[in-house]
Amino acid sequence: MKIAVTYDNGQVFQHFGHTEQMKIYTAENGKIISSEIVSTNGSGHGALADFLKSFDTDVLICGGIGGGAKDALKNANIELYGGVSGNTDEAVSAFLEGNLEYDADVECSHHHEHDENHTCGSHGNDGHTCRHGNCNGGVIAVTEENFSKEISDYNTLVVVDFWASWCGPCQMISPIIDELSGEISDVKFCKINIDEQPTLADKFNILSIPTIAFIKNNNVIDLSVGYVPKEELAERIEKNK
């Protein structure tokens, strides 16, 4: 049996679509006989199901996970145990012993609203919660349907991350956006998937990703293109408030 766990420094990583590493365990007769840490090479969401299938994975253990990824795993015949936190080795041992604590109904949806206090998995120790249907801390997934409410009618600064699941630098900057959304309370943080929302990408003339747009009163007042470190992005936000 092959068991994969979203991995970050020995812990179960809490955002399936953004995981940069998986720890793959081989088990026989209820015991771990080997394990290896592998890079996902920037794969995201649905693509990760194919990645796991390439390792003949039977079971995935993770924290938060979206509905689309759950469907992809089901189609790949990979059994899911979501909503798990803590040490990866301990999680796999608990699974093999039949006492793993998990959430069979875990789902971080990008398209419907949750109660603001709902947590997605455990999010490790970062204290973030899923808000407005996006399990990236306080980051809101924007579509054509909620664009007016979340961006165009908003009169203070909105920081918008234009991204795609196949974009490696997008996966690198996404955790930074997540962290800043939990640290800066007077700015709204949003994400727009250019593959799912091409009309919005065209509206803002997005030519490359990741692009961070700083929008106020429905006007783009600044753009940051490509990966930038957290400190630089925080300075840009402060400058544009």
Told to judge if 120 belongs to the known catalytic residues of this protein, a careful annotator would answer no
Coil, strand, or helix at residue 183?
A: helix
Beta strand 59-61 pairing with 2-8:
parallel
Q: Which residues of 78-104 are buried (b: 16+ CB within 10 A; e: fewer)?
A: bebbbbbbeebeebbbbbbeeebebbe
Phi, psi of 216 (to 5 degrees): -140, 130
| Cα–Cα dist 230/227, whole Å | 9
Catalytic residue among 120, 130, 135, 167: 167
- Report the 10 Å Cβ neighbour count for 51: 19
| Residue that is written with structure tokens 């994975």 in the block | 57
Catalytic residue among 120, 135, 170, 190: 170
Beta strand 139-141 pairing with 188-193:
parallel
| Cα–Cα dist 44/215, whole Å | 27
If you ran DSSP here, which 8-state letter would residue 204 be given?
A: T
Coil, strand, or helix at residue 198?
A: helix
Told to judge if 190 belongs to the known catalytic residues of this protein, a careful annotator would answer no
Tokens at 55, concatenated? 């390792």
| Residue that is written with structure tokens 């700083």 in the block | 214
Positions marked catalytic: 167, 170
